[in-house]
Amino acid sequence: MLSKNLKYIIWFIVFVSLQILLFNRMHSIPFVNIFVYVLFLILLPFEISAVWYMLLAFCTGLIIDAFSNTLGIHAAASVLLAYMRPAVLRLYSPRDGYEKNTLPDIRHYGFLWFLKYSLLLIFCHHLALFILDAFSFYNFHLTLLRTILSSIASISVILLIQFLTLRPK
């Protein structure tokens, strides 16, 4: 139990640090923001309680907000991701259900399943984030473009991380 919790603590530190120290500073492509910290939320185990999951999402988003000077929009978008995750898991549930003691990752459920699962959560997270950032539906087409481009960039980096850390079953 302790080793599993330690693994999640390390994931949290690594993904939040990558976000704060690397990806928050990358502004070379207009309309594109890469949010790799959501991978921590996406990879949490199926068995985690809803209350703990929402709390972890809120705290993760709040830490990103503190270092990004964004006044709670990451916290709100992360809580939305946590709220939506059970519905997305039901939507993409395998016929026999999810296996015990597995994680929602490429290793256990394959590339296509992980792509659909994570892309839907990432898109909704980014859409909420950018709507809250704009705080308006004026020029919504630009917000939607920013959401699409950032989702593509984020999922690309997240898939790269998944493949680089992939271990055989």
The one-letter code for the residue type at 10 is I
Q: Which of 86, 84, 43, 79 is nearest to 60 (CA)?
A: 79
Distance of CA 141 to the CA centre of its chain: 23
pLDDT digits (tens, 9 = 90+) for 116-166: 999 999 999 999 999 999 988 788 999 999 999 999 999 999 999 999 987
Give residue 166's pLDDT: 79
Domain boundary assignment for the chain:
2-164
Give the model's confidence band at 90: pLDDT under 50 very low, under 70 low, under 90 confident, else very high: very high
Q: Is 14 exposed, middle or buried (0-12, 13-18, 19+ CB in 10 A)?
A: middle
| Greater pLDDT, 27 or 20 | 20
Distances 17 to 57, 104, 106 between C-alpha atoms, Å = 16, 22, 23
Give the model's confidence band at 85: pLDDT under 50 very low, under 70 low, under 90 confident, else very high: very high
Residue 27 has pLDDT above 80, yes or no: no
